[in-house]
Amino acid sequence: MEERDPTLTCGECGVARRKMRKAFTLIELVVAIAILVMVISFAGVIFKVSINAYRTASASTEIMQKLRAITDQLNSDFRGLGKDGYLIIRSELQAGRAEYTNSAPSDFRADRLFYFTTGDFQSWFSPDRSNISKVYFGHDRRSLYDSFLPVSKWSLARDVKLVTPGLPLTDSNNVSYAEFKANVPATVFDVNNLLISGVPIDIQNNPADVRGLMCRNVGEIKIEWTIGERAANDMILWWYGLSRPSGYPVEELGPPYIAAWTPLTPKQYWPRALKFTFKIYDSKGMLERGRTFTHIVYFGN
């Protein structure tokens, strides 16, 4: 039992006790440090989560901007598509490709198409314009044939050639639309050669080639078509790609699969709509597996 100095008053005794307890004990110091470490750790976790959330949101925004650019361009182009011209789809699997660095090899679709469309087109190299052009839409040549390039680094190209007889420019054809339609076999042969190889984009060595680059980091593209056919008691459209409806004369020998509609194809055999399925990635690789989107373009009668 603690002995109290008989000379101290009760108040003086309390003051003495408080003076004696002013310093921290070792246990109190260790507990305080542990609490501080926990607070700093939690703050670090919260900061890291916030940074990752910001980066993910930025990556999603970038992907959505790319999707909007692609779909707006498709909508604009196909508003001018005529069924007296050409629409050729080439569907092909790129086998054994890595989706991103160090990912397991897999097969990815690299579909591409060619078509004539009307609109208001201007040359990159002169003030000349044309109201009709032929368009390549798909991956560039490096994306298709560089087996070491990950799918997430593929580039989407849109190459436009103005149909301008008497105007032999780099981005024009010195042939009229009537001549193209009158020479179907030669036109289809030339188109197939382009669809096989893709548009050769070499921006590093030729800055003018930037005109053919639509956007980067557009991976797998699947293009399907429909004639508006549905199964009995079923509201779901039948879509064709790597296949065709029985009896429809729109397929050339494959593989790869090629569907071709030309001025010789009766209008009732032309598709009612095209369905595009894209896999789009962000430029910094935050979303390694990208995001998949579907866009449908409907044609008039």
Can you give the pLDDT at residue 232?
67
Checking if the pLDDT of 1 tops 50, the result is: no
Q: Please compute the mean of the pLDDT values over residues 263-289 and round it to a whole number.
A: 90
The model carries a pTM of 0.80
- Helix, strand, or coil (residue 299): coil
Per DSSP, 298 falls in state: E
Q: Per-residue pLDDT tens for 289-301?
A: 999 999 999 987 6
Q: Which of 21-30, 67-76, 176-185 has the lowest mean pLDDT?
A: 21-30
Q: Per-residue pLDDT tens for 218-271?
A: 999 999 998 877 766 677 788 888 766 666 666 555 567 888 899 988 888 888
Q: Please compute the mean of the pLDDT values over residues 192-197 and round it to a whole number.
A: 88
Report the C-alpha gap between 270 and 227 in whole angstroms: 7
Hey, how many other C-beta atoms are within 10 angstroms of the C-beta on 83? Answer: 18
Q: What are the backbone dihedrals phi and psi of residue 272, each rounded to the nearest 5 degrees, phi first?
A: -90, -20
In contact, 150 and 279? CB cutoff 8 Å: no
Q: Which residue has the tokens 């798909």?
A: 138
Q: Which residue has the higher pLDDT, 3 or 274?
A: 274
Q: Please compute the mean of the pLDDT values over residues 126-147 and round it to a whole number.
A: 90
The 10 Å CB-count burial string (b at 16+, else e) for 17-54 is eeeeeeeeeeeeeeeeeeeeeeeeeeeeeeeeeeeeee
DSSP state string for 107-170: EEEB-EEEEEEEEEEE-SSSS-EEEEEEEEEEEBHHHHH-TTS-GGG-EEEEEEEEE-TT---T
Checking if the pLDDT of 19 tops 60, the result is: no
What tokens does 16 get? 């003495």
Checking if the pLDDT of 124 tops 90, the result is: no
Checking if the pLDDT of 11 tops 60, the result is: no
What tokens does 88 get? 């050729």
Q: Please compute the mean of the pLDDT values over residues 260-285 and round it to a whole number.
A: 90
Q: Please compute the mean of the pLDDT values over residues 96-112 and round it to a whole number.
A: 92
Q: Which residue has the higher pLDDT, 73 or 3?
A: 73
Q: Please compute the mean of the pLDDT values over residues 101-127 and round it to a whole number.
A: 90
In contact, 193 and 254? CB cutoff 8 Å: no
